[in-house]
Amino acid sequence: MNKSLFEKIKNLPESPGVYIFLNSKGDTIYVGKAKVLKRRVSSYFQASRARDSRLELLISEIDDIKFITATSEVEAFIYEAGLIKDYKPRFNIELKDDKSYPFLSLTINEKYPRLIITRDRKNDGTLYFGPYTDVKLLRSAISFMKKIFPLRTCVSLKKKVCLEYHIGLCSGPCENKISKIDYDVIVSQLRKFLEGKKNDLINLLENEMRDFSKQKEYEKALAVKKRIEILTIVSGARNYTSGPVSGELEELKAVLDMSNLPLRIECFDISNIQGARAVGSMVKFIDAKPCKKEYRLFKIKTVKTVDDYSMMREVVHRRYSRLLRENALLPSLILIDGGKGHLAVVKDELDSMGIKDIPLASIAKEFNHIYVPYKPAPIRISRGSLALLLIQRIRDEAHRFAVTYHRKLRNKKVFETNLLEIKGIGKAKERFLLEKFGDIASIKNASLEDLEKSGLDKNTARRVFDYFSALPPKVRSKSSKTIVKNF
């Protein structure tokens, strides 16, 4: 595997999606779907994996990898079928007899089109997508899409609305509950989704929502907002309402006046002990539980002074610029370990990146006050509150993670010798000198003659001697814990 390919696999997101293998000519040779892109693609290159001759040949031809992220396996399933049909990759299983597999049919030849499953393709102006090999997933996909695109399902248009309308799965064209123009807009949006143009679709929906709000058509704006939420929610089509919902998440949603449950929370902290070796941490909680594989650590790179605000700004920028670049899923809530100042800095940075719709809050160490951008005064929560306990647990985990990393960096500092700063001294000569003199203190205090006798050439010996001679006597004579066995 070439280095470029290794780096691409290493940086794949841990989310559902479609992966595309290309050969050295840039031709698509295989398309697949995955619940977790990084895990699935990595599995192809594991030495322990049993491979037949076809798989061996596929792996030998992979020169590049592309991917499309999705919110669920169901969505990835839809994209996969479309890409296979478009590119016809030679390593994919050929669907020679399309009649044996179902298609999705968008009946644009009807006044009010429907989306249905069919095995019978006709040349009647209907749009077909597929074929699809997994009928169970296809039915899940239909259920998923009905929540976003409420088209009629009846074979012939009825005179009165049915149950589908009352539960929000149909827009009710039979009683003119929706105009023909608005219905056609939904059909057009569904078509974009089926063609894999989800980002374009979300941009369209966001513009539509803003237009409705400006025109004070708030019910329509809310309906569009719900469709955007379903398209971007982490659990995708798998489950939106069933299962026990954590009481602490319900309470946190109410406390912060959020529209949706904060299912994905990311929290940031800066560890800056005594102004040295500052580090940042980010922890992630999903459904109120830590997701440690998603934790991230940041060495501060751009801030050279003790400035918590600038450090927090750097860490937040690095985190979300990457997510935006990878088109990855953003959190439902961002928490900051800090007060109003930290909150203002983070909000300003997110705004500059175009991230303006994610709820944001900070928790101050003193009194555990909660700050949000839209309220000048802190939110005071009772000590026994489930919401406060959850926030504290997440904040403390972020702090623990940052401090642990900070401690590792400080411990690493103990074993630094400064020898590598001297021209002509690399790792091998550093070890050689430590073996000859025993520790760094003896090297610092060695005469030029001793250094030359050790086996160094004269020029290198002179550079070592001059480097340590320029240090103040107290520093030069200072004892060091660095000994040979640490290398």
**pLDDT tens by residue, 62-89:** 999 988 877 778 778 888 877 887 788 8
- Answer yes or no: is 153 within a domain: yes
Last residue of a domain, one of 392, 412, 432: 412
Whether residue 110 has pLDDT greater than 80: yes
pLDDT digits (tens, 9 = 90+) for 232-259: 543 333 333 333 345 678 778 888 888 8
**Does residue 96 contact residue 258 with C-beta atoms inside 8 Å?**
no
pLDDT of residue 231: 67
pLDDT of residue 481: 41
| Dihedral angle of Cα 157, 160, 162, 166, to the nearest 10 degrees | 120
pLDDT of residue 159: 83
**Does residue 60 contact residue 111 with C-beta atoms inside 8 Å?**
no
pLDDT of residue 51: 66
Stated as kind and residue range, the H or E segment containing 198 is helix 198-214
pLDDT of residue 485: 35
Q: Which residue has the higher pLDDT, 59 or 409?
A: 59
Section 468-479 average pLDDT: 59
Q: Residue 380: which CATH number? A: 3.30.420.340
Does 260 share its domain with 396? Answer: yes
pLDDT of residue 103: 84
Does 35 share its domain with 108? Answer: no
- Structural domains of the chain, count: 4
Looking up tokens 């400080």 gives: 410
Q: Which residues contact 294 (CB under 8 A, 6 or more apart)?
A: 14, 284, 286
Does 256 share its domain with 397? Answer: yes
- Answer yes or no: is 315 within a domain: yes
Section 337-360 average pLDDT: 93
Last residue of a domain, one of 412, 427, 449: 412
Does 482 share its domain with 334? Answer: no
Does 316 share its domain with 211? Answer: no
pLDDT digits (tens, 9 = 90+) for 111-157: 999 998 888 888 888 888 877 777 777 887 888 788 888 899 888 88
For residue 479, what are the CA distances in angstroms to 328, 382, 417, 438, 444? 50, 52, 11, 12, 10
**Does residue 306 contact residue 272 with C-beta atoms inside 8 Å?**
yes
Burial 353-381, CB ≥16 within 10 A → b, else e: eebeeebbbbbbeeebbbbbbeeeebbeb
Whether residue 215 has pLDDT greater than 70: yes
- Answer yes or no: is 191 within a domain: yes
pLDDT of residue 455: 86
Q: Residue 17: which CATH number? A: 3.40.1440.10
Does 260 share its domain with 397? Answer: yes
Q: Counting beta carbons within 10 angstroms of the beta carbon of residue 343, is it exposed (0 to 12), middle (13 to 18) or buried (19 or more)? A: buried
Interatomic CA distance for residues 124 and 464, integer angstroms = 85
Task: Say how many CA atoms lie within 13 Å of 196 toward its Cβ.
Answer: 18
pLDDT of residue 289: 85
pLDDT band with cut points at 50, 70 and 90 for residue 482: very low
What sign has the CA pseudo-torsion 113, 115, 116, 117?
A: positive
- Answer yes or no: is 240 within a domain: no
Does 141 share its domain with 111? Answer: yes
- Answer yes or no: is 398 within a domain: yes
For residue 429, what are the CA distances in angstroms to 111, 333, 416, 418, 422? 81, 51, 14, 12, 11
What sign has the CA pseudo-torsion 80, 86, 90, 96?
A: positive
Does 181 share its domain with 271? Answer: no
Residue 59 structural domain: 3-74+83-91
Q: Name the average pLDDT for the chain.
A: 81
Interatomic CA distance for residues 478 and 318, integer angstroms = 39
Interatomic CA distance for residues 6 and 15, integer angstroms = 18
pLDDT of residue 422: 87
- Answer yes or no: is 172 within a domain: yes
Helix (H, G, I), strand (E, B) or coil at 30: strand
pLDDT digits (tens, 9 = 90+) for 319-347: 999 999 888 889 999 999 998 999 999 99
Whether residue 385 has pLDDT greater than 90: no
Last residue of a domain, one of 182, 207, 232: 232
Whether residue 99 has pLDDT greater than 60: no
Does 354 share its domain with 401? Answer: yes
Section 151-167 average pLDDT: 84
Q: Is the link from the previous residue into 131 a cis peptide, with omega within 30 of 0? A: yes
pLDDT of residue 113: 93
**Does residue 66 contact residue 11 with C-beta atoms inside 8 Å?**
no
Q: Residue 465: which CATH number? A: 1.10.150
Does 254 share its domain with 332? Answer: yes
- Answer yes or no: is 241 within a domain: no
Does 266 share its domain with 400? Answer: yes
For residue 130, what are the CA distances in angstroms to 80, 94, 113, 174, 366? 9, 13, 18, 29, 58
pLDDT of residue 30: 92
Per DSSP bridges, beta strands 264-271 and 279-286 are antiparallel
Helices 198-214 and 218-232: crossing angle in degrees, nearest 10, is 160
Interatomic CA distance for residues 236 and 398, integer angstroms = 27
pLDDT digits (tens, 9 = 90+) for 263-300: 899 999 988 755 556 788 999 998 888 898 899 998 88
- Answer yes or no: is 238 within a domain: no
Does 181 share its domain with 205? Answer: yes
pLDDT digits (tens, 9 = 90+) for 20-49: 999 988 889 999 998 889 889 998 888 766
Section 211-226 average pLDDT: 78
Output the pTM of the full model: 0.41
Interatomic CA distance for residues 422 and 463, integer angstroms = 7
Amino acid in position 82: G
pLDDT of residue 240: 30
